[in-house]
Structure 1
Amino acid sequence: MRPRPYTLVAAVAAVALSTVVAGCGSGGSGSGDELGVGYFQSATIGPEVLVAGNKDLAGKVDGTFKLNPIDSGVAGLASLRGGAFPFISGVGNPPVVGAIAQNTRLKVIYAEYYDAAQLIVPSSVKTNADLAGKTIGALQGSSEDFEIRGWLKTQKLENKVKVVGFPSEAAIAAAYKAKKIDAGYVEIAQALDLKQNAGGRQVVTAEQIAELGYPSVNVLAVTDDFAKKHKKVVQQVVCQFAEATKIYTGGQADSYIEKAASTVGAPASQAVDATTVLPFVPVSEQAEQLAPGGTVAKAYKLTGQFLVDQGRTTTVPTDAQIADHIDSSYVEQAVKDGCGQ
């Protein structure tokens, strides 16, 4: 899911977005019509905000982005299912796989970025094996929960370490400082705090865990109904998300992020710090990410088992079900023709 505010300064409270994120229509497709996008409010400037906040990107889409704040991936996907908006951005593995299990008619169409969480331990933990018998705090039922449990399996520690679920990143950090848990798997802001102010050290990151076979990829999804009716617009949106990715990774991100930050009322300097730490998925890797049996499909299969183990779903979605909810054609087209450039 979209990170709780990633910032190297401090976690930023959700900003008030009254007129900017007023309700949106879900059926528009022509020039000037509203294109509703569910997104997470934070200092992080995701592709949806970068596009909406920069006219040279937004002007290449037939419609006007209307950003709808969501509090969680589960709630956001419920709103999408109910017709509140046709797109949702920055949503992670568990909510999407849960939606697939409920046969929500959507397609995952762009892989945005991996999580940027870190496992923080005290100095007394010298090696990974020292975690045996210890407790690790993680955001309950989240992408991070999935990731850290996967990492423990790769270290053959899954039956030796207890993962304790918490309702928020702040609660994990507080429990770590109070020595109620032995380690915390937390986002950038809290990780930095625990390293600087609580003597913690970093053991592994979400990006490294992804390389070990347990990736959580935050994605863009669209409803089947909207995609069928407005294929051209969906292609335009994916193309501009691809352009946003190139901006993030091409050395020109700061000015774009600052401009987009003003659109949603986020402080520019904090937005730059919060966004540039994210491990964005390069455009060159998009087709593989969304291909049948690719990174996203494999991650969703593993996440399905995680959700069953957590008691949140009763069955793991089949390969066919997962494939039916991923559409790589838009990124394939974007890579093929460079979006007309």
Structure 2
Amino acid sequence: MNKSFLKAVSFAGVVTFTSFYSTAQAEQTIAVGTFGDPTPMQWAAHVHKFSAATGWNVKWRRFGSGSDVISAMASGDLKISELGSVPAAIALSQGVNIEVFAVDYVIGKSESLIARNGTGIKTLADLKGKRIAVPFGSTSDFSLRGALKHTGIKTSQVTLLNMSPNQIVAAWKQGYIDAAYIWPPAQTEILKTGHRLVGSNQVAAWGYPTFNAWVVNKRFAETHKKQMIAFIKEINKVNSTYIDNPSSWTVSSPVVQAVAAQTGDTPKQVLESIPGYTFLTAQQQLTPEWMGGGIAKALKSTAMLLKKEGLISAVSDNYAKFINTEYLRDSIK
């Protein structure tokens, strides 16, 4: 056979394989976890900005609780996800191979303790003897325990019930629970027949701060640095659209419409919920208050309280080793 022909065939095969490999890499499917909160990130997710920025085929998986996220990440099924500070502290204390690479948002009134109308609950002191629902191991659980401790109520003086957001709504409508500490959209639903006792912004002021972080499998991040930086850049961009001009977010604006379509909320619900979150710029995140030291301290203090409450068995001596600012720093160069 003609050697020139063989070389041509061989070369064509290499080109074909290389093209196939490049396409396969570009279309790598990556599952990213979210809780479906009505935040700017949901707009970017809806219009596929993360896929365009990273080259991944990003598939968003919605979770009802942090414990479900931990299980998915521990199994290797999930590589990147939003995760509350409390389940993050639990996962890191248990040795799950993840690291915090950015702050998602600081939790304010987006998580609140709601009392059902007609239960006689007017203040936190009235909670004694009442049935309170909350997803155990969540940021709302931590805030609830902090609020009770601040008020001087022991957990043995109330009935704490471990319920998912959907279960809380169902139990609320049946009159089975008197109060619940929860986030939207469940919070939005139960507020129709209830009233807010306290939000997590106030509980944070009492010494029990909570936030949502972005976490990633450490090994995955190390082998996908370029995409990790692109991912954070996109988060910074979309958060800035709200930080820089929140008044532009209206019921009829395309951004709010997209967030509503992605989360299943109405545009009105999006606008009612979003002030309950505080978003940080990349520069703010890198300060000592947050990724520069504050996050590690908060995770450790959270873990210490969880251990005292019997929710975890051990606390790491150093949570700073679980914080990686490399991708965040590179995203603003």
Q: TM-score by structure 1 length?
A: 0.73
Q: Residue type matched to 2:70 in 1?
A: L
Task: Give the alignment partner of residue 73 of structure 2, picking from 77, 80, 92.
Answer: 80
Q: Any idea what the Cα deviations from partners look like across 1:294-321, whole Å, max 9, x if unmatched? A: 0x32332233234334544211222x1x
Q: What is aligned with 2:314?
A: 315
Q: Any idea what the Cα deviations from partners look like across 1:177-235, whole Å, max 9, x if unmatched? A: 665544332334444444433xx332211222223221221111112112222222212
1:113 aligns with 2:73: no
Q: What is aligned with 1:150?
A: 146
Give aligned pairs, total. Answer: 301
Q: Residue type matched to 1:51 in 2?
A: A
> How far apart are 1:159 and its partner, in Å?
5.8
Residue identity over aligned pairs, in percent, reads 23
Matches within 5 A, 1:1-341: 32-34=26-28, 36-40=30-34, 42=36, 44-46=37-39, 49-54=42-47, 59-89=52-82, 91-115=83-107, 116-121=110-115, 122=117, 124-158=120-154, 161-173=157-169, 175=171, 180-197=176-193, 200-249=194-243, 250-251=245-246, 252-253=248-249, 254-259=253-258, 264=262, 266=264, 269=267, 272-273=270-271, 276-283=274-281, 284-288=283-287, 290-294=290-294, 296-309=295-308, 311-318=310-317, 320=318, 322-334=319-331, 339=332
Q: Residue type matched to 1:52 in 2?
A: A
Contact 1:40–1:69 (Cα < 8 Å) also in 2: yes
- Structure 1 pair 95/120, CA: closer, same or farther in 2 (3 Å)? closer
- Structure 1 pair 58/70, CA: closer, same or farther in 2 (3 Å)? same
Contact 2:81–2:215 (Cα < 8 Å) also in 1: yes
Q: What CA distance in whole angstroms lies between the structure 1 residues aligned with 2:66 and 2:23?
A: 25
Q: TM-score by structure 2 length?
A: 0.74
Q: What CA distance in whole angstroms lies between the structure 2 residues aligned with 1:47 and 1:84?
A: 25
Larger radius of gyration: 2
Contact 2:239–2:279 (Cα < 8 Å) also in 1: yes
More helix by share: 2
Contact 2:134–2:140 (Cα < 8 Å) also in 1: yes
Q: Residue type matched to 1:63 in 2?
A: W
> How far apart are 1:147 and its partner, in Å?
0.8
Where 1:67 maps in the other structure, the secondary structure is: strand
Q: What is aligned with 1:19?
A: none
* Structure 2: unaligned runs, 5 residues or longer: 1-21
* Structure 1: unaligned runs, 5 residues or longer: 1-27
Q: What CA distance in whole angstroms lies between the structure 1 residues aligned with 2:178 and 2:57?
A: 48
Q: What CA distance in whole angstroms lies between the structure 1 residues aligned with 2:299 and 2:141?
A: 14
Contact 1:119–1:204 (Cα < 8 Å) also in 2: yes
Contact 2:33–2:60 (Cα < 8 Å) also in 1: yes
- For the aligned residues, what is the CA RMSD? 3.5
